[in-house]
Amino acid sequence: MLATLMWSIAGVVTRQLDAPGLAAEQTFWRSAGAAASLALLLPWLMGREALRRSLTQGGWALWASALCWAVMFTAFMVALALTTVANVLVAEALGPLFAALIGRVTLGHRLPRRTWGAIALAGAGIAWMYGPQLAGAEPRHLLGSALAMVPPLAAASMWTLLQANERKHPGARVDMRPAVMLGATLSALVCLPWAWPLQAGAHDLALLGGLGLVQLAIPCALAVAAGRVLSAPEAALLGLLEILFGVAWAWASGAEEPPPSVLAGGLMVLLALAGNEALAMRARRGT
Helix, strand, or coil (residue 172) = coil
- Please say whether the beta carbons of 242 and 7 come within 8 A: yes
Q: Residue 187's pLDDT band (boundaries 50, 70, 90)?
A: very high
Reply yes or no on whether the pLDDT at 67 is more than 90: yes
Write down the pLDDT at residue 70. Answer: 93
* Residue 57 contacts residue 168 (beta carbons within 8 Å): no
Give residue-wise pLDDT tens across range 69-102: 999 989 988 888 787 777 777 777 777 778 877 8
- Residue 16 per-residue DSSP state: T
| Domain membership of residue 152 as a residue range | 2-286
Looking at residue 209, its pLDDT comes to: 85
CA dihedral in degrees (167, 169, 172, 174; nearest 10)?
Answer: -80
pTM comes to 0.78
Q: How many angstroms separate the CA atoms of 99 and 119, rounded?
A: 10
Share of the chain above pLDDT 90, in %: 6
Average pLDDT over residues 34-46: 87
Q: How far apart are CA 69 and CA 97, in angstroms?
A: 19
Confidence of residue 137 (pLDDT cuts 50, 70, 90): low
Out of 65-74, 109-118, 156-165, 245-254, the most confident range is 65-74
The alpha-carbon radius of gyration of the chain (Å, integer) is 19
Number of domains within the chain: 1
Residue 169's pLDDT band (cuts 50, 70, 90): low
What is the average pLDDT value for the chain, to the nearest integer?
A: 80
pLDDT over 70 (residue 135): no
State residue 233's pLDDT score: 66
Write the pLDDT tens digit of every residue in 225-241.
787 788 766 776 777 78
Question: What is the C-alpha end-to-end distance of the chain, expressed in Å?
Answer: 26
